[in-house]
Structure 1
Amino acid sequence: MKKTNLIILIVVLLGGATYLGYISQIGTTVEAAELTAPKTLPDFTLNDINGKPFSIHQLAADKPTLFIYFSSTCHLCQEELGTLSKRIDEFKDYNLILTTVQPVEEIIEFANGLNIKNKPFVHFLLDADMNVATFYQIRSVPSIYVYDSKKQLVAEYVGITEIDLLLEKLDSGK
């Protein structure tokens, strides 16, 4: 009986430690001194989901910009972008650039499901050659970057991030 209880205790402790490690990574905020993303929004030219090339700087214009690298098959990305889509009108004063390496057909289907692709401030771009992913050294999705109106990095996050925090950071970048 003692051996069974010991095994159960070990399994519970390992499971708890794994869960706490996972939870600690969701919505991780990187402090300003630790920011690893490019300090200035890079100016790659990528095709949108209609095949038209766009410069990231052209899309960001002179507004604070939320740049999200995602995968439509990632459950964390689905949750983050699903929550964002429910509050999409709160982002109308900013630009959202959503970038992925996935095939265009998958992204169109995903974008249609979110019901945000026709918003003039939302842009889905395809990183077909993984240039942006390599430049940012993307290791996990969603990777979220907030740039101010001068295209300077304000904050970066990995994982699910509170929408209110994103809006606060975007607002500070006006």
Structure 2
Amino acid sequence: MNRRGFLAGVGGSCLTAMSGCFATDVGRTPQVLSLASVDCDPEPLSFEITLLDEKLTETDVPKLDITVTNLGKKPVGWTYGGGFGELPFPERVYSEDDNLVIGLEEHIQSQLLDTSRGCARLKHFSAANGFQKTSLEPAETITNRYAIVGIAGNYKGVCPEPGSYRMKHGFGDYGKWGFKVKLK
């Protein structure tokens, strides 16, 4: 057996195995969220996202405004699960991998865990039960403030892994719409 080759292989595999441990310590410095892409608008709806605060720290979460406008000539409406009506995006949507959740900012802020290190996060996200409907007349616009945060226990370490996360939701007969964020 080639002893040097064996030892080099073991050393390399240890570094590879430990690389995940190093990546989960990202929470010691702020992470930054950016918009990576936004889906095409399902007609007759027009969506707009404005990123207001991109930092994910021990106490702060990224915040954004989502606006939807009815560009059609007829009223539109869609139903979603939750407790608050007339929202441009539902009050709770998980990323496709369940590591992040977007929700109404005041609800996210009220449910943040008390963290001494790492990123602000939730144990789980509770939203009101029931079904609500958003209705828009022609040319009507609604906007609401949202926050994006990680769910503790759905990822390793004290912060979500850097990478891309996709959020999307259906809007009844008008199709699905969503966006992808990047966390660095």
TM-score of the two chains, using structure 1 as the length reference: 0.32
Kindly name which structure, 1 or 2, has the bigger radius of gyration based on alpha carbons: 2
More helix by share: 1
More strand by share: 2
TM-score of the two chains, using structure 2 as the length reference: 0.31
